[in-house]
Amino acid sequence: MARLLLGVSGGIAAYKALETTRLAVRHGHAVRVIQTEASIRFVGTASFEAITGAQVLTSEFEPDPLRGSYPGEPLPERSPISHLALVERADVYLIAPASANTIAKLTGGHADNLLTAAALAAPCPVAVAPAMNERMYVHPATQANLEALKARGVTIVPPGEGELASHGEHGVGRLPDPAELLAVTEALLAARRGSWAGLRVLVTAGGTREPIDSVRYMGNRSSGRMGFALASEAAMRGAAVTLVAANTGLAPPPGTRVIEVGTAAELAQACDEEFDVCDVLLMAAAVADFRPASPAHDKLKKEAGVPAPIELEPTEDVLSGLGARKRSDQILVGFAAEHGEGAVSYGLEKLERKHLDVLVVNDISKPGVGFDSDENEVTIVSADGTQRSVPRAGKDLIARAVLDDVERLRAERGTDDRGEGSDGASGAGTRSAARV
């Protein structure tokens, strides 16, 4: 199942977008639809809404009852700041039919309606299916616009030849059949799915527990959801994922190998064994910095009175140790929970100190994000000096942004030299957004 965003612009072929929607839903995809005002003259929103089970949006200003989510997903706790949430969550954005006017706007970078604004902000692959009268299609302006979009990585689905809408006209400009549009969409999804094929990814998740006695422990509030979201996203992109999970109680993400650990020492040992064969380490676990120096073997009894103060000793800083021995072709991503205004500058210092390539900083002074929450709001700082703020979003979207950053770094450094291990899907660039 994928999240398909369908942009419908004005034209008689809009009726085929309805059938495309129906087919996509039948194939198990969750579909949201954006219509231009002009397209509503050809097909009403109610038809799309009946098929998708979700409100059609046409402008940035109308409320979205699904709060940017796709049918079948849990309703986010709050409404997103903008309607661009719909495209941020999409796995693929198909604009069909794309009128000559919409194509010209996409080429010029206009954002005068929700369809074009979403295209400008799309972090996912974008496909454009032109449909118009032949003379408009072959006009040098339209052809130049399509070439420009193609050069930016947009997939153009060429129109077919046949009878056109104007009475008696025949020529090129017919929107391809819904099955073909869906096939193009699914090919883009498959390329995205395979974009990390051949990569080995090590993820840590959850929070370690350090025994005080045989039943009590020192722990932290990490739920493991961020690490599990990272593991799912990496697996979805085709990586071989090993997930070191500390006390999460979460179901293993499909397609991942899970190593369960309890304490910081067990986590350190698992990472030590797995690190050398990984290409990317995503260190999302909250690892205890201290542990009781002499945990009691049995349960401390109440009758013995208040126990003596628990003496603590430092644990190993696992990430620093791995950072010190990493190869230049490995990418290390740390996660830092920081408090308040200096969060990012503390993070930058940590990035250097631990020899990291990327650090994901979240400001835990903000309510409702980070620990033990479904949502997060982070700044991704990279060793190449880039900083990217990811506004409050579900952890699946944060995971996507983190992996996009890793992908960007690997492509920049030319470390994306997988080849023989790959299943033939193209490399790091495959997942990157088409620049509309």
Torsion sign over Cα 99, 100, 103, 109 = negative
Contact positions with ligand CTP (CB under 6 A) in 332-351:
334-337
Q: How far is the CB of 237 from ligand CTP (least distance, A)?
A: 21
Q: According to the binding rule CB under 6 A, does residue 247 interact with ligand CTP? A: no
- Kindly tell me which of 213 and 317 has the beta carbon lying closer to ligand CTP: 317
Any contact of residue 260 with ligand CTP (CB under 6 A)? no
Of 235, 230, 295, 228, whose CA–CA distance to 264 is shortest? 295
How far is the CA of 142 from the CAs of 162, 169, 202, 279, 421, in angstroms? 19, 19, 47, 44, 41
Q: How far is the CB of 404 from ligand CTP (least distance, A)?
A: 19
Options 34, 285, 343, 409; binder of ligand CTP; rule CB under 6 A: 285
Q: Is 319 in the site for ligand CTP (CB under 6 A)?
A: yes
**Count of other CB atoms within 10 angstroms of residue 293:** 10
Per CB under 6 A, which region of 40-48, 138-146, 315-323, 427-435 contacts ligand CTP?
Answer: 315-323
> In the stretch 66-85, what mask flags binding to ligand CTP with x, by CB under 6 A?
--------------------
Q: Measured between alpha carbons, how far is residue 152 from residues 87, 107, 122, 147, 344 in Å?
A: 18, 10, 12, 9, 32
Is 281 near ligand CTP (CB under 6 A)?
Answer: no
Residue 231 burial (CB < 10 Å; 0-12/13-18/19+)?
buried
| Interaction of residue 317 with ligand CTP, rule CB under 6 A | yes
Q: Nearest to residue 199, comparing CAs of 15, 426, 23, 422?
A: 422
Q: Which is nearer to ligand CTP, 82 or 320 (CB)?
A: 320
Q: Is 95 one of the binding residues for ligand CTP (CB under 6 A)?
A: no
Does residue 315 belong to the site contacting ligand CTP (CB under 6 A)?
yes
Instruction: Report the candidate in 70, 36, 34 with the shortest Cα–Cα distance to residue 53.
Output: 70
Tell me how many residues contact ligand CTP (CB under 6 A). 13
CA gap 55, 366 in Å, rounded? 31
Contact status: 289 vs ligand CTP (CB under 6 A): yes
Q: Using CB under 6 A, which of 24, 31, 245, 318 touches ligand CTP? A: 318
- What is the C-alpha separation between 89 and 80, in angstroms, rounded? 11
Contact 261, 267 (CB under 8 A): yes
Task: Quote the CA–CA distance of 376 and 188 in Å, as a whole number.
Answer: 28
Confirm or reject binding of residue 376 to ligand CTP (CB under 6 A): no
- Regarding 283 and contact with ligand CTP (CB under 6 A), the answer is yes
The question of whether 220 is a catalytic residue gets the answer yes
Give one DSSP letter per residue of 54-68, joined into a string.
Answer: S--B-STTS--TTTT
Residues at the site binding ligand CTP, with contacts judged by CB under 6 A: 264, 283, 285, 287, 289, 315, 317-319, 334-337
| Catalytically active residues, by annotation | 220
